[in-house]
Structure 1
Amino acid sequence: MQIHCSKLSIMKFILLVFFLALPSFCSALEAQGFDFFYLVLEWPGSFCGATQSCCYPNSGKPASDFLIHGLWPNNKDGSYPSNCDPNTPFDSSQISDLSSSMATEWPSLACPSNNGESFWAHEWAKHGTCAESVLNEHDYFHAALSLKDKANGILQMLSSSGIEPNDNSYSVNSIIEAINGGIGYAAGIECNQDESGSSQLYQVYLCADTSASSFINCPVFPKGGCSGEIKFPSF
Structure 2
Amino acid sequence: MKMNVLLLLFLAAMVVRAASQPPNPIPVPYDFYSVVLQWPKSVCNTGWHQCTKPIPPSFTLHGLWPQRYSFPCFDDCTRYPGNTKFDNNSIPDDDRNVLIQYWPNMYGDNEAFWRHEYEKHGSCVHPFYLDQLTYFLTAYRVATSTDLYSILLAAGIICGGPTTFGAIRTAIHASTRFWPTVRCNRSLTRTLQLFQIYLCFNKITNAPMDCPKDQKGCTDPIDYPQP
TM class by shorter chain equals 0.7 to 0.9
In structure 1, stretches of 5+ residues that fail to align are 1-24
| Structure 2 SS opposite 1:169 | strand
Query: Share of identical aligned residues, percent?
Result: 27
Q: Label 1:29 to 1:183 Cα distance change in 2 as closer, same or farther (>3 A).
A: farther
| Greater shift in the superposed pair: 97-106 or 78-87 | 78-87
Give TM-score scaled by structure 2 length.
0.80
- Encode CA deviations 1:10-30: one digit per residue, 9 max, x unaligned: xxxxxxxxxxxxxxx9x7586
Residue matched to 2:14? none
CA 1:223–1:67: 2 relative to 1, 3 Å: same
Q: Find the partner of 2:139 among 144, 152, 158.
A: 144
| DSSP-derived class of the 1:130 partner | coil
Equivalences for residues 223-234 of structure 1 within 5 A? 224-234=216-226
Task: Tell me how large the CA RMSD over aligned residues is.
Answer: 2.3
Distance 1:54 1:212, change over 3 A: farther
CA contact (8 A) 1:165 1:232 kept: yes
**What letter matches 2:112 in structure 1?**
S
Cα distance in 1 for residues equivalent to 2:200 and 2:38: 15
Question: Which residue in the other structure is 1:19 paired with?
Answer: none
Decide which of 98, 103, 107 is 1:101's aligned counterpart: 98
- Describe how 1:1-235 pairs up with structure 2 within 5 A: 28=24, 31-56=27-52, 61=54, 63-78=56-71, 79-82=73-76, 83=78, 84-85=80-81, 88-97=84-93, 98-110=95-107, 113-114=108-109, 116-131=110-125, 133-135=126-128, 136-151=131-146, 153-166=147-160, 168-210=161-203, 213-218=206-211, 220-221=212-213, 224-235=216-227
Higher CA-based Rg: 1
Instruction: State the shift of 1:86 in Å.
Output: 7.5
Counterparts of 1:63 and 1:197, CA distance in 2: 22
Is the Cα contact below 8 Å between 1:41 and 1:68 reproduced in 2? Answer: yes
What is the Cα deviation at residue 62 of structure 1?
5.2
Shift in Å at residue 67 of structure 1? 0.4
Q: 1:140 to 1:212 in 2, by over 3 A?
A: farther
